[in-house]
């Protein structure tokens, strides 16, 4: 090789090295843009997004409330009760799986075949590392949104920019902000001694609660319920096992019966009234036991997403009726219309609230 050729080769290699180590990152095409997600992670996303998949139901529900036409599919098979509240054509979307719960992993081949432009990770306990891995495996950008309840207004605004629907995002963000601020203002005046002692009962026997500080009980904490389950959370999925003896020692004033797909709807709520051990609990004796509305999504968690906006109004009403005076029928109608795109019938409204509020007879006592 001549001296001239050797010099040219060195120059080319030097330029290549500069390009590799001193560039601002991968090249961005004209149909793409660079965004920083809510975890501080830089992601290259399409300028126009047409199909979205949530890594978990948390992000899927947010997408459903904001831009349902973009949903590529659901994460799990909805039960018939849930499907009845979905609008056409979203009750016929395919089930693609996801990364959430007890080690669930999405079927990569199925997901790639569905051709989503974007995968949303919202409030997922597995977080940043899994988002990176999924993006590398699928070659689909993964965008992280905050799942924190108080950050829902910001989450909607970021998601609206991301998905090209800023006007609707601003509307939903405003609804979230108003509810959060209103409840925060009122509960700030409640003395610690007056906080209601609450137990969130999950699982078929009610002995798998969510302790305070868990993302699954965040709505209860926010509504200023004093969560009596003083045990460390054992897993990100929740369902921390306790004994009946512990529940009797805690002796809650209010019991919230939860529901997820590990039990049948209403299973524990039906059992609690006739169980001799539970009859000793103050909440049961005073008939202060309520079941979380669950259609189409649980108002507290499973998943902890936008459904908590109506959930914290419901909980605040239950815990402190002397302070909060929400008409839950009216509030439920408004929320479902605004967020879930559905006008509730009287029968649907009755179904949602049947075991979630006190009957007029009980209120009069």
Residue whose entry in the numeric block shows the structure tokens 């990569």: 108
Domain residue limits, the chain:
26-179, 190-364
6 versus 253: the higher-pLDDT residue is 253
Q: What is the predicted pLDDT for the residue at 5?
A: 41
15-29, 179-193, 234-248: least confident range: 15-29
Q: What is the mean pLDDT of residues 112-119?
A: 94
Q: What is the dotted CATH code of the domain comprising 190-364?
A: 3.40.50.1980
177 versus 99: the higher-pLDDT residue is 177
> For a pLDDT cut of 70, what percent of the chain falls above it?
85
Q: Cα(274)–Cα(293) distance, rounded to whole angstroms?
A: 22
Q: What is the predicted pLDDT for the residue at 1?
A: 47
Q: Do domains 26-179 and 190-364 have the same CATH topology?
A: yes
Which strand ranges, in their side-by-side order, compose the sheet holding 197-201? 226-227, 197-201, 254-257, 289-291
Rounded to 10 deg, the angle between the 346-353 and 328-340 helix axes is 110
Q: What is the dotted CATH code of the domain comprising 26-179?
A: 3.40.50.1980
pLDDT-derived band of residue 4, with 50, 70 and 90 as boundaries? very low
Q: What is the predicted pLDDT for the residue at 269?
A: 93
Range among 20-24, 96-100, 106-110, 292-296 with highest mean pLDDT value = 292-296
Asked, as a colleague might, if the bond just before 69 is cis with ω within 30 of 0, I would say no
Q: Cα(289)–Cα(286) distance, rounded to whole angstroms?
A: 8
Residues constituting the chain: 365
Please indicate, yes or no, whether the overall pTM of this predicted structure exceeds 0.85.
yes
> For a pLDDT cut of 90, what percent of the chain falls above it?
69
Count of CA atoms in the C-beta half-sphere (13 A) of 241: 1
For 56-72, what is each residue's pLDDT tens digit?
Answer: 999 999 999 999 999 99
* Both structure tokens of 363: 């209120």
* Both structure tokens of 12: 């080319």
Q: What is the predicted pLDDT for the residue at 26?
A: 66
Q: What Rg do the C-alpha atoms of the chain give, in angstroms?
A: 24
148-162, 209-223, 274-288: least confident range: 209-223
Q: Cα(287)–Cα(179) distance, rounded to whole angstroms?
A: 28
For 160-206, what is each residue's pLDDT tens digit?
Answer: 999 999 999 999 999 999 999 999 999 999 999 999 999 999 988 99
Q: What is the mean pLDDT of the chain?
A: 87
pLDDT-derived band of residue 128, with 50, 70 and 90 as boundaries? confident
Strands (DSSP E) along the chain, which ranges?
A: 32-36, 42-46, 52-54, 118-122, 142-145, 197-201, 226-227, 254-257, 289-291
């Amino acid at each position: 090789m001549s001296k001239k050729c050797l010099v040219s080769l060195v120059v080319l290699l030097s330029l290549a090295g500069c390009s590799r180590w001193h560039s601002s990152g991968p090249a961005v095409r004209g149909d793409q843009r660079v965004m920083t997600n809510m975890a501080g992670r830089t992601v290259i996303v399409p300028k126009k997004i047409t199909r979205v998949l949530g890594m978990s139901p948390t992000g899927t529900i947010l997408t459903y409330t904001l831009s349902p036409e973009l949903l590529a599919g659901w994460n799990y098979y909805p039960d018939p009760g849930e499907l009845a509240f979905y609008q056409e054509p979203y009750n016929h979307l395919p089930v693609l799986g996801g990364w959430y719960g007890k080690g669930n992993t999405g079927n990569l081949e199925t997901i790639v075949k569905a051709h989503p432009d974007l995968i949303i990770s919202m409030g997922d306990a597995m977080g940043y590392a899994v988002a990176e891995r999924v993006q590398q495996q699928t070659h689909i950008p993964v965008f992280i949104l905050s799942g924190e309840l108080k950050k829902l207004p910001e989450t909607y605004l970021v998601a609206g920019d991301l998905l090209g629907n800023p006007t609707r995002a601003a509307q939903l963000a405003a609804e979230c902000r108003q509810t959060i601020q209103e409840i925060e203002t009122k509960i700030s005046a409640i003395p610690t001694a007056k906080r209601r002692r609450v137990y969130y009962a999950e699982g078929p026997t009610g002995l798998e609660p969510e302790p305070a500080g868990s993302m699954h009980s965040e709505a209860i904490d926010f509504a200023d319920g004093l969560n009596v389950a003083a045990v460390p959370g054992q897993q990100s999925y929740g369902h921390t096992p306790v004994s009946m003896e512990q529940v009797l020692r805690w002796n809650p004033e209010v019991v919230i019966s939860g529901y997820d797909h590990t039990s049948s709807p209403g299973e524990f709520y039906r059992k609690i009234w006739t169980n001799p051990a539970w009859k000793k609990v103050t909440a049961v004796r005073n008939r202060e036991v309520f079941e979380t509305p669950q259609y189409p999504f649980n108002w507290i968690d499973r998943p902890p997403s936008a459904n908590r906006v109506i959930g914290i109004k419901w909980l605040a009403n239950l815990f402190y009726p002397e302070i909060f005076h929400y008409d839950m029928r009216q509030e439920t109608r408004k929320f479902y219309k605004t967020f879930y795109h559905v006008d509730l019938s009287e029968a649907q409204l009755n179904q949602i609230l049947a075991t979630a509020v006190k009957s007029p007879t009980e209120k009069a006592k």
